Structure 1
């Protein structure tokens, strides 16, 4: 047993040495005999095909009777026995026959190996492309899952902080009397109201500044037949004094209209709203006054008895009302364009 084991190890070592020597040697490729060897291989295969065809023809001639009948087992036991003996004889004849192998100098093994390698390389490339696509999808999914995990952690931390604050508030409330709780609630509501009032005042000042400095000249230009609010970002007093053409462009005349004609035009468009404490206003100031009064009327209607469902009656279709509708701040009555109301965003959220 030990001798067999040592012999096996010796053969393995000898094979390793021979393999290293073969790898170290350069492969001798004689390209001049390749065509000849290929032609010889083709002739060999054609000869083999001819032999097989001859054997097949010989087999056909040897078959006696109907082939269809011979292919199936006979009903007669004697005939069936003859068939089985024929099959046994055929297996016995073909069993010792050695399989066909190409000659030593044949190119057929190399061609088969090249085809197998080519197919393996193609399948490997397809597998690499498919793996890269799956890897890209997996990485994308992993990034999304990591983002979701971070969001979940942040949400869990926020919820834990909220729970801790609620526990602290609950514990604090449990230690106070109802009178103390009522005082704290009133103080919190007052503080919240002061914050809201301050924010409301700040937003009101910003709104009035926006209307006076930016919006009112644009509204005046639209009222005078100029471009719609937003199409002409900068509107100067000279443009309002000269006026606009029917196409909405500034008139090119160098001579400004007289104050009487200009004032008559302001009165025709804005009417009483062109007056402020007995003082005559210009185009931009009249548009500013018109917008402020419209906003006041809309707020009064919103906080009135009808609430967010009541509409304010418009004296005329003005640029101010159209701007509020385009900005989605207000909306017309579905069946009457002379009525307008503010969109009550807070009521929609409460609902």
Structure 2
């Protein structure tokens, strides 16, 4: 009698040889044969189900025990013990019973394997998608944290430089007398004032050029019933002389408008702001609008720096395109209850407070 180990090795070698033969054999792609095997497998499963149903009905007919009641443990200890013994006996009998296996030509194992593979593949795809989303979120969070870290480093460097400057200033001041510090402070303030004055001159020149080259013509066009400032960027002198229709379009006149008609219209709109001496040439519409804008800005500045400060309003003579433009540009603001009162927006007032 061969020892058990030799018999086990022989079985392993036999199984390996059979598996190699099956692997070397070409796969059967005969559709008719596969369909026949599927039908046979279905019939076997149906027969097995019918057999199990018949056995269950026979058991129910032969037994007087309520199945639904027996499915739960009884509260009576003796009854519960009998239930446990019955379950133990059932497991003992079923252990020695050979399990149901499909026939040799059945495709049920292949179907079960295919279903398991499909579930595994789908689960893997879902896991990959979920992992990709988590990776994307993690990368976005990482980039955000890197940006925050970079900003923190810049802030730390700026704070260190600021601390070094303050320490140097403190050391420098500690070595000087109060009189020297006062002189340096006065010199610094004077230099700042000179710088501010120079910058104001440059900004004033830029404002004058802007009003003279661009804004005055657009203001005149709006006053004459034309488009709002900004809608027509290039406004010619001939366009202003011709005027605009009620719909805001340029009038097309075959004959040039006389100077008297233009002067009368200018006087009606701008009034004494456009008044001139007899020896001077008459003002154009753009020049009249230019004068009104400059005078309005001067009056607003005078009101801002006057006794009332930033809370005082300048009272307008009329509702003009210049005042509306300053309000639209967020440079000035009307009184909440009186649209004839206007004041400049004091941008530094909140910082001073």
Relative to the length of structure 2, the TM-score reads 0.86
Judged with a 3 Å threshold, the aligned counterparts in structure 2 of structure 1 residues 22 and 183 are, in CA distance, closer, same or farther, namely: farther
Unpaired stretches in structure 2, ≥5 consecutive residues: none
**CA shift digits 1:21-55 (9 cap, x unpaired):** 67973653252532222222222222222221232
* Structure 1: gaps spanning 5 or more residues: none
Do the aligned residues in 2 keep the contact of 1:222 with 1:319 (CA within 8 Å)? yes
Residues 1:101 and 1:259: Cα distance change in structure 2 (over 3 Å): same
Alignment correspondent of 1:271: 271
- Candidates 314, 319, 323, aligned match of 1:317: 319
The SS at the match of 1:344 is coil
Say if 2:333 is the partner of 1:334. Answer: no
Cα separation, partners in 2 of 1:145 and 1:27, compared to 1, 3 Å? farther
Partner of 1:183: 183
Q: Which residue is equivalent to 1:223?
A: 223
Matches within 5 A, 1:131-150: 131-150=131-150
Secondary structure of the structure 2 residue equivalent to 1:341: strand
Q: Does 1:35 align with 2:35?
A: yes
Match for residue 109 of structure 1?
A: 109
Taking only aligned residues, the RMSD between alpha carbons, in angstroms, comes to 3.3
Q: In the alignment, what sits opposite 2:99?
A: 99
Q: Distance in 1 between matches of 2:331 and 2:308?
A: 18
The match for 1:255 is: 255
Residue of structure 1 in register with 2:288 after alignment: 286
- Secondary structure of the residue aligned to 2:168 is helix
CA-CA distance at 1:261 after TM superposition: 1.7
- The Cα of 1:68 is off from its aligned counterpart by 6.8
SS at match of 1:35: helix
- Alpha carbons of 1:188 and 1:160: their partners in 2 closer, same or farther (altered >3 Å)? same
Alpha-carbon distance between aligned partners in 1 of 2:111 and 2:203, rounded to the nearest angstrom: 86
Q: How far apart, CA to CA, are the structure 2 residues paired with 1:187 and 1:25?
A: 101
Q: Point out the more displaced range, 316-325 or 204-213.
A: 316-325
Compared with structure 1, are the counterparts of its residues 67 and 144 closer, same or farther at alpha carbon in structure 2 (3 Å cutoff)? closer
Counterpart residue number, 1:159: 159
